[in-house]
Amino acid sequence: MTKPSEKIVIFDTTLRDGEQSPGATMTHDEKLEIATMLDEMGVDVIEAGFPIASDGDFAAVSDIARNADRAVICGLARANLKDIDRCWEAVKHARQPRIHTFIGTSPLHRAIPNLTRDQMAERIHETVTHARNLCDDVQWSPMDATRTEWDYLARVVEIAIKAGATTINIPDTVGYTAPNESAELIRRLIAEVPGASDVVFATHCHNDLGLATANALAAVEGGARQIECTINGLGERAGNTALEEVVMALKVRHDIMPFTTGVDSTKLMAISRRVASVSGFPVQFNKAIVGKNAFAHESGIHQDGMLKNAETFEIMRPEDVGLNATSLVMGKHSGRAALRSKMKELGYDLADNQLVDVFVRFKALADRKKEVFDEDLIALMQDEERQSEDRIKVDYLRVVCGTEGPQEASLRLVIDGEVKASEATGDGPVDAAFNAVKALVEHHARLQLYQVSAVTEGTDAQATVTVRMEEDGRIVSGQSADTDTVVASVRAYVNALNRLMVRREKGGTDGREISYKDVG
């Protein structure tokens, strides 16, 4: 008789740990949108944020808690009563709230608050007890668990269980462990710590050595029944375990890993694209499951095999992750009905007024491109969403470039409804255009990243441009797409400036201000 599959709890921390990636800050509305998509996709637990971090984070967690239909909504709190109280105030509105509290237990982390082993153990007991008095569902994490001495780790896990923790999360905070160690650590904790059989053990892996997914799956083999992960593997440094990877690994290799999740895998591609758009972190082409090349075959041998039998070189179908098997090419003769149908197929259910706006932009794009592919429409839609709330918008841009310098740019921006113009020169058309923006929008942000990638093939392909900027410790990203690379560059730059304004407003009045002027 076949043993029934065990359920693995999928704990998504895109909105908390994922958002800690430098420049990946999301707006309030974007967080609510991603949380809704996660909830609809079947994620079991959504870690919505760090409520005490800021008023904005508190408001986002609180609103997500109020709006979630089925997922457990979790907030993060450090091991102190003030953090835990603030976290509870944010998550208590959820149908199923959870408090997640943590403290660093390795020798390196114990040295930061300068606590002895006994002092830290006492704090763990106090804070977990306090959290459990507020909420029936409490998760506790010994940060940097994989570099914590075994005897001390076992001791504090037992303390947390006795204090009322219902989930014990074992974080590989710096991506240090290896699969065999990951499995053995969970297995040993379950076997040797009193009360371990009464709680759920979780695994939280970082990808510093490229082992996050392998370590998470190994932990499941060792007895963990919750995986903490993020969409696209977003996260600090090299990122976290990728949700799409563990979900599909458990689905495809069910023969050797008899576990199930509640995630609707056909929604993976849509949420991957959305997270990439709002975070400003594009998905690498060869990214497993959701990368542009994940189902592409160029080798002659591969193509021949695919034509004869798709299973020769594909272990899963594109449709399994929400990727259309066939792509209907749109063109300048396509009408509104065809566009509405295509956008719905791509995950965008447009209202009538949205359809009118998108159709105008689609026609303009179709006039410049012979064929408009799915990727073009997604880029167009994402660009529309990025610019809809911007206070600064590009109205007109003209550049003069070539082998004879200097390169020149003429620019008009609409700033809070008012048109302002400038001209500038620079070392190349993009530099000239950026200088023209700076002439109108004075700021002190430093450009950290400028990246261009083609949406599709061909000389008429749209370029997606990503910029990352830093000012006074605030890091923001901006993105835009256009068949004109310079236009896409300026719009991405302006998109980042809009995000910088939002970050500054959330952070109060300290720091440098953005000012506007008309030099035209």
- For the purposes of burial, counting CB atoms within 10 Å of the CB of 77, is it exposed (0-12), middle (13-18) or buried (19 or more)? buried
Distance CA 392, CA 415 (A): 5
3-class DSSP string for 290-352: CCCCCCCCCCHHHHHHHHHCHHHCCCCCHHHHCCCCCCCCECCCCCHHHHHHHHHHCCCCCCH
Distance CA 91, CA 96 (A): 9
Q: Consult the annotation and say whether 443 binds a ligand.
A: no
DSSP track, 164-208: T-SEEEEEETTS---HHHHHHHHHHHHHHSTTGGGSEEEEEEB-T
Please say whether the beta carbons of 68 and 31 come within 8 A. Answer: no
Q: Which of 297, 303, 232 is nearest to 269 (CA)?
A: 232
Q: Consult the annotation and say whether 169 binds a ligand.
A: no
- Please name the helix (run of DSSP H) or strand (run of DSSP E) that holds residue 453, with its range, or none: strand 446-454
Q: Consult the annotation and say whether 28 binds a ligand.
A: no
Q: Consult the annotation and say whether 109 binds a ligand.
A: no
DSSP track, 464-505: EEEEEEEETTEEEEEEEEESSHHHHHHHHHHHHHHHHHHHHH
Residues making up the binding site:
17, 204, 206, 240
> Which residue ranges are tagged as binding site for Mn(2+)?
17, 204, 206, 240
